[in-house]
Amino acid sequence: MIEAKQLTKKFGSLTALDQLDLKAPAGEAVCLLGANGAGKTTTINLFLGFLEPSSGDAFVNGLNVAEAPFESKKHLAYIPEQVALYPQLSGAENLDYFLRLSGVRKSRAQLISILKDAGLDEGAAGRRASSYSKGMRQKVGIAIALAKDAKALLLDEPLSGLDPSAANALSHSLRRLRDEGRAILMATHDVFRAKEIGTRIGIMKAGKLVAMLDAASLDAREIERIYLAHMHDDEPDVAATGAAA
């Protein structure tokens, strides 16, 4: 569903992303770990069509994003670090507005039902978004993905700044979407949540994917150890921990 082939992005002499090969098929969640500047957000932006690749290709549902930017977006939902909502509109009204932009129309009852399914209660759905916490705004983002029936989700640091309860709720929603057959590609700094959500965990450094780990065969402490070893240019011992390069 989400695939990169030798995907590269250069800004002048800076190589922000270097020959990335990556797949996130339906029913899998790939979480990308890395320091700021590692290439995680650049990867997300290339799949969204916000940037043009210097070379290589990004595919969504078999569509080359550079060649079919509008058609490929029909299969995508994007949840950024800060979900931007119109503060004067309620959660339900924001959901209705964004769906109409996508050519989707739902009744008021359907909108409320979708928001409830995303974890936002009916009372909050009718309140102005100006009163929302970050976690509540993220739930509206999940609701947009549900209502669009998006088959692929791209998320850029969606857990940043969330309290433990909100982070747990978002993690639960993402696992459910993954288990329902969506493909998920998420950039994050949170090793623990990456382990919770991801089926595979990629480690990025200086624009390169330096490791791909099987989340089921590792605990969060092992993932953190391997990550830190790569960040400090050590040679991580992955053979005994079930990591897959």
Q: Please give the chain's pLDDT, 245 residues, in tens.
A: 999 999 999 999 999 999 999 999 999 999 999 999 999 999 999 999 999 999 999 999 999 999 999 999 989 999 999 899 999 999 999 999 999 988 888 999 999 999 999 999 999 999 999 999 999 999 999 998 889 888 999 999 998 888 898 899 899 999 999 999 999 999 999 999 999 999 999 999 999 999 999 999 999 999 999 999 999 876 555 443 444 43
Give bridge partners of residue 55 from the DSSP assignment.
Answer: 8
User: From residue 135, how far is each of 124, 148, 160, 217 by CA, in Å?
Assistant: 12, 20, 10, 30
Q: Cβ neighbours of residue 19 under 8 Å, at least 6 residues apart?
A: 6, 7, 8, 56, 208
Question: Is 219 in the same domain as 161?
Answer: yes
pTM exceeds 0.95, yes or no: no
Say if residue 142 is in the same domain as residue 164: no
- In terms of domains, do 54 and 102 share one? no
- In whole angstroms, how far apart are CA 158 and each of 24, 62, 214, 236, 239? 18, 26, 22, 28, 31
Which domain range does residue 120 map to?
Answer: 83-149
The count of structural domains within the chain is: 2
